[in-house]
Structure formats: C-alpha cells, structure tokens
Structure 1
Amino acid sequence: MYPVDAGMHGYLGVQAAVFVHVVLTLAATVGLWWLVVPTNLTVVVFLVVGAVLLVPFWPVYARLHPEHEGEDADDGESGTLRDPFES
C-alpha cells in the first residue's frame, strides 16, 4: 500500500497529553472507588474527575496543538506547523 498523509503529523504531543489525562482520570477514579465511591457511581465520578482534570490540561492542549494554515503561527509563517517540543 502507498503511504497516505492522513494529516496526523504534529499531533504526537496532543496524543501523549490525552493519554496522560485519561490515565490520571482512571487512576483517580479507581482510587476513589476503592476508598469511598459506590460501584454504581463510578461512571459519574470518572466524568467529574475528567472534567476537573481538564482545567490544568487545557493550557497543555492549547500549547501542544499544531497551528495550521490561516491561523497565526508562533513562528510567524502562515501554513507551517510549529514543533510542540521546541521552547
């Protein structure tokens, strides 16, 4: 098969941040479930913990999201992707 440019380049940092966000949400939910939360409320607790953790993760997502054509890129060049690992 021919390689297809699916437009996913530049999102590695976002994918890693989402993975960390979900893992922390799951860990906190399991911890609360072991301590005090009844089993029938674990889904609600998962959603609440995920929403609460979204507050500190939102700036991370905004910083790691690549810029695209037509948006104001950090490097001043329209249409280029910025490297999320550069300072």
Structure 2
Amino acid sequence: MTELTIPPDADENRAAELVRQHVTTGDTVEIWDRERTDGDDPNHTGTVTDITPGYLELDGHSPTDSSVRYDEIDTVIRVESS
C-alpha cells in the first residue's frame, strides 16, 4: 500500500501528473477529496480503469458517478497494484 498526498497549491495539471506517476490502470485505490469531512472512510474506492486528461476513471464510471476529477483529490492510496 502506498500513499500520495497532493500538495494544496497544486493545480489540476500538476495533480494529474502526480496521480499518473503514482497509479496505473488496474490498480485498486482509495481516494480522499480535498473538501472531505473528518472521517476514516475514503470518498472514492475502486479500480482504475482509465487515466483521462480530466479525471481518474474508477470502475468505468464518469466523474458524476464514482470517478474523481484531479483537482478534487487530496490523497490517493494504492491498495493493490495491477
């Protein structure tokens, strides 16, 4: 299990670059949002199915479902590598 925390001053492009360096398609991840409330559970959990220009696709879903935009990510934990 490895963890990546996006620096608070990172813009969307920098956040996307960091995420691309940390995960690959097929990895199982847990994601906490920047605007998260206190809690122990991740906001998003799933398998990375695509690393698109605008968002990290989880389980084949769009950002309106379970996927997440890069500028919303605070922490990504790679639970299992592909």
Q: TM-score range by the shorter chain?
A: under 0.3
Q: Relative contact order (alpha carbons < 8 A, sep ≥ 6): 1 or 2 greater?
A: 2
TM-score (structure 2 length as normaliser): 0.24
More strand by share: 2
